[in-house]
């Protein structure tokens, strides 16, 4: 039986606990919601359970396609068992369609299809507001070695290709998404989560937003958007699995 021991860390969206298994942690997903680097706070009903199970779907898909992830198994409605990683403090954002900060920075109308995926890096530092950085900044701050960043970019683009293909059958446009990586035995491994909290998902036909932008922009029906993503991925309504 899996032991849930002391809490190691609590962030904006998750709690991490030590377990009785060596080098494996239990991640508990919370219903708390934040935006704009914590300036806006709230609660989204069932968000933790939905993000946990949506992330599991994506991690299992990626593992099947040869992408190394920290996912081990689901351990309940809102908990998953993961491998311990030494987190690299660089957030990787892959963009396929202009939205959010990219639209503001480059003056591109939201919804503009980019001719190729755009990969961006952000320094994972709450006090600094997770600023946009480049490869030279990463080297200067000694956040990761150049060969590690090459591997990270390679995996990020592979994940993008896999998810674009998978989601197209679900009538979902993958606008952009954030990934985090860590080291396990010297190898780059995908960590964190892949969910409506960390991705922009739009309905392919209506362009309806099915992600945390509904919370950020006070669009309403936030819980419904998360449940819609779950339904399209699993073929089941969330109420059926509770």
Shared-domain flag, residues 215 and 149: yes
80, 132: one domain? no
Classify residue 218 as exposed, middle or buried by CB count within 10 Å of its CB (0-12, 13-18, 19+): exposed
Q: Which helix (H) or strand (E) holds 149?
A: helix 146-168
124 and 207 in a single domain? The answer is: yes
Tell me which residue range forms the domain holding 79.
4-84
Q: What is the pTM of this model?
A: 0.95
Each residue's pLDDT tens digit, 14-40: 999 999 998 999 999 999 988 877 677
Domain count, the chain: 2
Which residue from 237, 196, 165 is spatially nearest to 54, judged by alpha carbons?
A: 196
Of 84, 109, 129, at which residue does a domain stop?
Answer: 84
Residues 63 and 92 placed together within one structural domain of the fold: no
**Which of residues 46, 64, 84 is at a domain's end?**
84
In a domain, 234, yes or no: no
**Do 47 and 104 share a domain, yes or no?**
no
Residue 240 has what pLDDT?
Answer: 62
Q: pLDDT per residue over 109-148, tens digit each?
A: 999 999 999 999 999 999 999 999 999 999 999 999 999 9
- Residue 27's pLDDT is 98
For the domain that residue 137 is a member of, what is the CATH number?
3.30.470.20
Clarify whether residues 53 and 105 are in a common domain: no
121's enclosing H/E stretch is strand 113-123
């Amino acid at each position: 039986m899996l032991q849930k021991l002391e809490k190691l860390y609590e962030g904006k969206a998750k709690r991490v606990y030590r377990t009785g298994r060596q080098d494996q942690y239990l991640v508990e997903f919370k219903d708390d919601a934040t935006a704009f680097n914590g300036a806006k706070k709230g609660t989204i009903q069932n968000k933790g359970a939905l993000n946990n199970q949506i992330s599991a779907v994506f991690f299992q898909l990626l593992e099947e396609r040869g992408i190394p992830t920290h996912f081990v198994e689901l351990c309940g409605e809102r908990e998953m068992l993961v491998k311990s990683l030494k987190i690299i403090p660089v957030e990787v954002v892959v963009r396929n369609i202009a939205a959010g900060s990219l639209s503001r920075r480059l003056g591109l109308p939201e919804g503009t299809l980019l001719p190729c995926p755009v990969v961006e890096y952000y320094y994972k530092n709450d006090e600094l507001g997770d600023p946009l950085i480049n490869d030279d900044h990463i080297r200067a701050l000694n956040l990761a070695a150049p060969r590690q960043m090459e591997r990270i970019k390679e995996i990020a683009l592979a994940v993008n290709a896999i998810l674009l293909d998978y989601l197209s059958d679900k009538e979902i446009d993958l606008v952009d998404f954030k990934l985090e990586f860590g080291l396990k035995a010297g190898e780059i491994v995908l960590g964190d989560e892949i969910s409506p909290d960390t991705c922009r998902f739009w309905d392919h036909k209506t362009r309806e937003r099915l992600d945390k932008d509904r919370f950020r922009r006070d669009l309403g029906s936030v819980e419904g958007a998360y449940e819609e993503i779950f339904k399209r991925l699993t073929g089941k309504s969330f109420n059926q699995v509770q």
